[in-house]
Chain A
Amino acid sequence: MPAFAAPLDRAILAGALCGDGAAQVGAAEGLVRAGGDLPADDLAYAGRLLGALVERRLACLPDGALLLAGQNAPEGQDAVTDARRPAAEARAPVLGLRQRAAVETARGVVALLTEGTPAARAAGLAVLERRITIVPAAVLDRARDAESDAALKGTIASLAEAAALSSPDPVRRRAAIAAVAASPSGAAAARLDALKSDPAYRADPAFRVALDAGLAQVRRAVAIGDGLAIVYNGLSFASILFMAAAGLAIIFGLMGVINLAQGEFIMLGAYTTYGVQEAFRRFVPGLLDLYLVAAVPVAFLAVALVGIGVEALVLRHLYRRPLMSLLATWAVSLFLVNLVRVTVGTQNLQFSMPAYVSGGVPVYADFVMTWNRLFAIGFAVATLFLTLLILRRTPLGLDIRAVTQNRDMAACLGLPTRRIDRLAFGLGSGLAGLAGVALCPIYSVNPGMGSGFIVDSFMVVVLGGVGSLIGTLVAAVAVGGANVLIEPISGAVAAKVIVLVGIILFLQRRPKGLFAVRRRR
């Protein structure tokens, strides 16, 4: 069996391929073993020879071999000297099954290392995958290092890893285990776990120790990564809840009205975002990616106007009858849902996803920080600061706080409480519109979307207490976090049950919520 080393001895290779079945297999396997070290032109040459052999264009003469242009061609090129020679006396060997497999593997190595297109290299890799145990690490490492296509590079790397893990060489296996453990993920844990059923796990103590250690390391890292992912998802859910509830809480604190149409205001915010997207698509398609940013002020203003309209037409008459205002805002929500249903349709809206809200960056183990959720979190933080700024630093905010704490006194001091109510209702509604914008990259947008999390945001208002934005924030984080934390343990429904029971129990101790503004009776 010839062992090939650089530079390749072309005569020996040609001779072996013209030899008996054992010589052919030996040559092919030798090529596979040496594939990692041979220069590219040698590999390409071997590839031409092997291809000719498979296609029966390799004609063997007693003193050499010819490459024919086609099967049974009358003459060909000498495999070593490139001289043209007649092929009349030559014999074209036929490959047996075993030989064919070995030759195909060798061709796969050549294709992977020398082909010009990623597709052709991927085809070579696919051939290798079937007989991965005989492919040396050097071949795969070389292919991976040279690979320019990112996806194929990843495939090669994972195949190399798998090959190393199942390698017959114990040292290489242990190194592979350490390598897998160094970049932990759920998939890595599964791969290592599968090795426990390998006979070596029982037979080889060193292997067992290495595997157990690697597995423990991966599992620990995966647990941390999953924990981070839960925190991240909890934060993004809490952000949505906060934005949905902040407007509710401001309105409730000021007027004692719970707006059951708040969910539909969020829906309107999302539909406004869609409208902005369509306008961009039509008039400035080049700037389409900026539509989400442009939708922020548009959605805020549009929904704020709707809110002011609802206040002026309906709620204005109901401040002394808060329970009736529940029914009235429910009627508004019923109206809005069906209006959108009839005019736009019930299907989910399709949004184009700009680069800044699609994909994500892998952070640790399986935890990927997705941009759309980060967008929602950042959005909520910005909303929080802006709202705090409005409430604490603007004349309107001062008026809102004054009326929230003592409406009669504020009225006596000459504050226009009616106008403040209307503006505050606009502010609260506008916040719902912003929540709608933030939801677009995360949730499906349809007329019924408002009802999905509205009960949760009511619970946030109840838990947070009246008229305190910070209370709303803390409660949103608590409810969002509790939902996301409990969900993997006992399911989404159980999470909702536990959160509700928790809130009812909490109200036993603090009936006015976490942060209640003290008001005169």
Chain B
Amino acid sequence: MQTIRARPAGPAPRAVRDPLVAGLVVLCLVAAAALLAAPPTPYLVNALGQLAAFAILAVSLDLVWGYLGILSLGHGLFFAIGGYVCAMHLLAHGASVTGVLPDFVQFMGWKTLPTYWAGLDLAAYAFVLALALAGLVAFVFGLASFRSRVNGVYFSIISQALVYVAMLLMYRNDTGLGGNNGMTGFPLLFGWPMGSPRVGTGLAVAALLTLAAVLAGTRLLVGGAVGRRMLACRDDEIRLRTLGYSTTRLKLGIWCLSAMIAALAGILYVPQVGIINPRVLAPDLSIEIAVWVAVGGLGRLGGAVIGAVLVNGLKFWLSAAMPEAWPFILSGLVLLVVLVLPNGLLDLAALRPRPIWLRRGR
């Protein structure tokens, strides 16, 4: 939020002025260029790429939570949709090049890939399918919820039930998606062997560039007229409706967009870790996304990125260094942020004064 000062009349000023986001976009571009010019160790490249994917996921949640007041505790579902479709593509692509069926297909005793896998070896089709599927699921669920004015905590726990049910569904072996073990052992990416450093660098660069694009795009969105409507809807939905705006359409549109961005993060994430299984659908993981956003600073896109990088960086480090202590540190961090730093760690940096009205309603 901007400090209070007089401004000459003119179009709304909030539009494109967010130095944090601008800085992060530049940082992403610089990092991508650096990776291409002088790639560091594969571990570091991979970590950087994963963090970028998580940051995209956090931005997608901040878009609906921070700007529309809709807390989804089921965003892992959309992330998983992107991830699963991506994994299907990688396996189908591998099978079409090498002629060897994926392990789980052999395990189930099937002779061919299930029919709904048809065409998934085409990357473009898989990409469109992933986004469309995430958008469709979000649309159906969002329409049912927003139309009947399900909101607030109700919406949150129903979205949690959604991801929970999806998890139970994916644990079944007969879905044709690997069941309990999920899908792994991806041989090729666009014909390149998966393990090569070149592919690793390419994936990380792609994730960083996507993050930059997502940040820039969402910033443009929330800085413009739509963004003002989102804030208005977040703070007083009935007021906005009685001014003649269809909030259902607004919420539905942003909700679907957010789901597709989350799917994008899933698409980028899966080839970097080389596996997807139903555990990404665990309700705890979806709550953790909200934790990233809250830690970084709700309602600021840059905050979501910082929170995702910080919490996941800590997790990479601490869950290996002291696995017993990590859950305690995480819960302590959440309580600290929720109770003491209502606007997240950005409060610490004191980048901006904290407006009083941000303390309520969320």
Contacts and interface: CB of A to CB of B under 8 A. Distances in A.
B144 A504 contact: yes
Interface string B143-182: 0110111101110111011101100110110000000000
A322 B134 CA distance: 27
Contacts of A503: 158, 161
B161 A500 contact: yes
Nearest to B288: A330
B148 A320 contact: no
B338 interface: yes
Given A327-B290, A342-B324, A504-B158, A321 B153 contact: no
A496 interface: yes
A119 interface: no
A320 B361 contact: yes
Contact of B334 (A323, A331, A455): A331
A256 B332 CA distance: 23
B294 interface: yes
Contacts of A321: 342, 359-362
Interface size class of B (residues with CB under 8 A): 35 or more
B136 to A, nearest CB: 15
B165 A500 contact: yes
A479 to B, nearest CB: 11
Given A256-B153, A258-B153, A497 B331 contact: no
Contacts of A496: 164-165, 168
Given A321-B360, A334-B334, 11 more contacts: A323-B156, A324-B294, A326-B157, A328-B335, A331-B334, A331-B338, A334-B327, A462-B158, A497-B168, A507-B145, A509-B148
A317 B164 CA distance: 29
Nearest to B337: A327
Interface in B318-342: 324, 327-328, 330-332, 334-335, 338-339, 342
Contacts of A326: 71, 73, 153, 156-157, 287, 290
A8 interface: no
Contacts of B335: 314, 328, 331-332
Given A334-B330, A338-B328, A324 B338 contact: yes
B76 interface: no
Given A338-B328, A504-B145, A508-B144, A458 B161 contact: yes
B153 A322 contact: yes
Nearest to A456: B161
A442 to B, nearest CB: 21
Interface in A299-358: 314, 317-318, 320-328, 330-332, 334-335, 337-339, 342
B65 interface: yes
Interface in A456-514: 458-459, 461-462, 492-493, 496-497, 500, 503-505, 507-509, 511
A34 to B, nearest CB: 60
A252 interface: yes
B223 to A, nearest CB: 24
Contacts of A500: 161-162, 165
B49 interface: no
Interface string A245-277: 000000010001110100000000000000000
A234 B213 CA distance: 52
A327 B148 contact: no
B302 interface: no
A328 B164 contact: no
Contacts of B156: 258, 323, 326
A507 B159 CA distance: 14
A335 B327 contact: yes
B227 interface: no
A511 B158 CA distance: 12
